[in-house]
Amino acid sequence: MGELSRNAFLKLAGVAGTAGAVNNALGQPAPAEAAAKPPARELQAFTFLTPPEQRFVEAAIERLIPADSSGPGAREAGVAYYIDQQLRGAWGTGARQYRQGPWMAGTPEQGYQLNLIPQQVYRIGIAATNAHCRQAYGKTFDALSGAHQDDVLHGLESGKIALAEIPSKTFFSILLGNTIEGYFADPLYGGNRNMAGWRAVGFPGVAAAYAGVIEKYNVPYKVKPVSIADVEQGLDPDPGHAADEAHRQRIALMHARQQTEA
């Protein structure tokens, strides 16, 4: 399985685009060769969540995906930053949500019917959950014991805890969905830091081309995962990936098609 060098893949990926091809024609170094610079510093700053909201999210996600022997939990994997970035961006502000009224409660089969964008779901949901915790335990969610935090999360999930302005099930399912996304999405989105989620399950990441290995049955395919930034920046070459020859084929075909299509 080790016949393929990821180094070769990174180089090929670098020259696969039109820009790379032009560079090569001009005799300039391909991007992958030029890019042996140290990794960029991770961006770690909240831009939407307020400090109390940050504390809530960091506490909740660590209950949802805790650290264990398989690797870090959601907090250490940066999932709070992922959620913050999602909320600040297009998704959080209601992109790809149909936003016209009238609004009314529907059946479960009809799906989301709130006149709220995700930013508002978090703002209202966190405030209301903290209000519930203060009433029930005299403290905000982040200050509770793990067992009590789990009780609250179960209460939201089942709908047993009723929040004033938003169905608790809706808030919980969005929070859980985002936590799983952040744990497994490409690290460029702020979570899955150091590819912790991918390492935990053994997902090899984006340098994917498996024609040569897919018929090796019942043999674990073990490589260090590769992220989008790894490929773009040519960082950390780790021989052993099967992304290969395929990319040479791709470039050859691109030229062949350009000739037929012209």
Partner 1 sequence: MATKLKAVDAVTIGVGWTGGIIAAELTKAGYHVVGLERGEYRNTDPDFEVPQIHDELAYAVRHKFMQDPAQDTYTFRNDARETALPIRYLSGFLPGTGLGGAGVHWNGQTWRFLPWDFETRSATIKRYGEAKLNGATSQDWGITYAELEPYFDKFEYMAGIAGKAGNIKGSIHPGGNPFEGPRSREYPNPPMKTSYAGMLTKEAAKKLGYHPFPQPSANVTRPYTNPDGAKFGACVYCGYCERFACEMFAKSSPQLAVLPVAMKTGRYELRTFCNVTRINLDSTGKRAVSVTYVDAQGREFEQPAEMIFLTSFILNNVRTLLVSNIGTRYDPQTGEGVVGRNYTYQMNTGGTYFFNKKVFNTFMGSGAMGVAIDEFNGDNFDHTNHDFIGGAYILVSTTGARPIQYHPVPPGTPHWGAQWKKQVVRYYNRAIGINASGGVQAYRHNYLDLDPTYRDAYGLPLLRITFDWGPHELNQSQFMATILRKIGHAMNADIVAVSPRTGHYNSTIYQSTHNIGGAIMGTDPKTSAVNKYLQSWDVHNLFVLGASAFPQNSGYNPTGTLCALAYWNTEHVIKRYIKNPGPMA
What are 68's strand-pairing partners? 71
Distance in Å, CB of 227 to partner 1, minimum: 8
Q: Of residues 46, 169, 206, 224, which one binds partner 1 by CB under 8 A? A: 206
- What is the number of other CB atoms lying within 10 angstroms of the CB of residue 220? 7
Residues 128-157 vs partner 1: string with x where CB under 8 A?
----------------------x--x---x
Q: Which of 127, 144, 185, 235 binds partner 1 (CB under 8 A)?
A: 185
Q: Is 174 in the site for partner 1 (CB under 8 A)?
A: no
In the complex, minimum distance from the CB of residue 250 to partner 1, in angstroms, rounded to a whole number: 5
Site for partner 1 in 213-232 (CB under 8 A): 213-215, 217-221, 227-228, 230-232
Q: Which stretch binds partner 1 (CB under 8 A): 23-31, 45-53, 94-102, 162-170?
A: 94-102
Rounded to a whole number of angstroms, the minimum distance from the CB of residue 19 to partner 1 is: 8
Shortest spacing between CB 154 and partner 1, in angstroms: 9
Site string for partner 1, 23-62 (x = CB under 8 A): ----------------------------------------
Length of the chain measured in residues: 262
Q: Is 99 left (phi over 0), alpha (psi -120 to 50) or beta?
A: alpha
Q: How many residues bind partner 1 (CB under 8 A)?
A: 78
